[in-house]
Amino acid sequence: MVDILHRIGVQTPTPEKVYEALTTVDRLAGWWTEDASGSGEVGGVLRFRFPPVGGFDMEVLESTPSKRVTWRVADGPAEWIGTTIDWDLRQDGDWTIVLFTHAGWREPVEFMHHCSTKWGSFLMSLKSSVETGEGAPAPRDVQISNWH
Amino acid sequence: MVDILHRIGVQTPTPEKVYEALTTVDRLAGWWTEDASGSGEVGGVLRFRFPPVGGFDMEVLESTPSKRVTWRVADGPAEWIGTTIDWDLRQDGDWTIVLFTHAGWREPVEFMHHCSTKWGSFLMSLKSSVETGEGAPAPRDVQISNWH
């Protein structure tokens, strides 16, 4: 089992806005994909689409305000199904620190390399969406390769 | 043992320029840190400094033109020493695909989360330095958090 790890700091006085950006559809649409729908409450399912490629359905396992959000991938690419995505938040002075873990990959396949870099890029989009109000969600996301 | 994985595609007709960007000091200074010195030949040591924080000494284990470059961390932060950094190159049409692996971390500590995101950001700088001639090496690198 191998994991994708990331860490960013968002300049904001409390974790509140970062938590909102992970749990409400309109804020998720501001940094990951404009085509986001569903419910960010525990037991709910969040649906993210990246036309024409496909997308992900995330079951919300945990949602503790300003502390932690955990998703389980219910549908999406075969390599993603059953993996978990964990967002750990804490405040450090003027920064909300986000520790990100996408756990449970079975093999370190080339697609996992791609997803790791792409997650890093989307985390920078999340940071920017909270700090400036302007992220880079799909289809306006940063292209990192021929796989987009 | 846990690894940091990344994948980017660089729009360039052959892997030559990407290989140069990983093996020659002046090109390394164009995307990672302006304070780069040493030798990129097998058996040589490349020195990267990020004043005032510190830096890394990389022993060059392999350097196969347009195919593969491998470094072993000889000096730097305790968590990095003895880890290996592997750059795998291949051409796919108009793209040079870079598969990156920073292997041999003992524990998935918070610093590893940070380094993963930071590597992703520097890989985008590498991509940009080859595609446009303009990267974002330290000290002009993209700030991702309070750890810089």
pLDDT score at A16: 98
Chain B residue nearest residue A124, CA to CA: B144
Pick from B3, B4, B7 the residue to mutate for testing the A interface (most A CBs within 10 Å): B7
Query: For A124, which of B92, B110, B144 is closest by C-beta distance?
Result: B144
d(CA B21, CA B8): 14
| pTM (two decimals) | 0.97
Query: For A5, which of B8, B92, B108 is closest by C-beta distance?
Result: B108
Residue pair A21/A12 in contact (Cβ under 8 Å)? The answer is no
pLDDT score at A1: 61
B78: Cβ contacts below 8 Å, ≥ 6 apart: none
pLDDT tens readout for residues B50-98: 998 899 999 999 999 999 999 999 999 999 999 999 999 999 999 999 9
User: Which residues of B touch chain A, with CB atoms under 8 Å apart?
Assistant: 2-9, 92-95, 97, 99-101, 108, 110, 112-114, 116-117, 120-121, 123-124, 127, 142, 144-147
Full DSSP string of A86-128: EEEEEEETTEEEEEEEEEEESS--HHHHHHHHHHHHHHHHHHH
Residue pair B69/B84 in contact (Cβ under 8 Å)? The answer is no
Complex ipTM value: 0.96
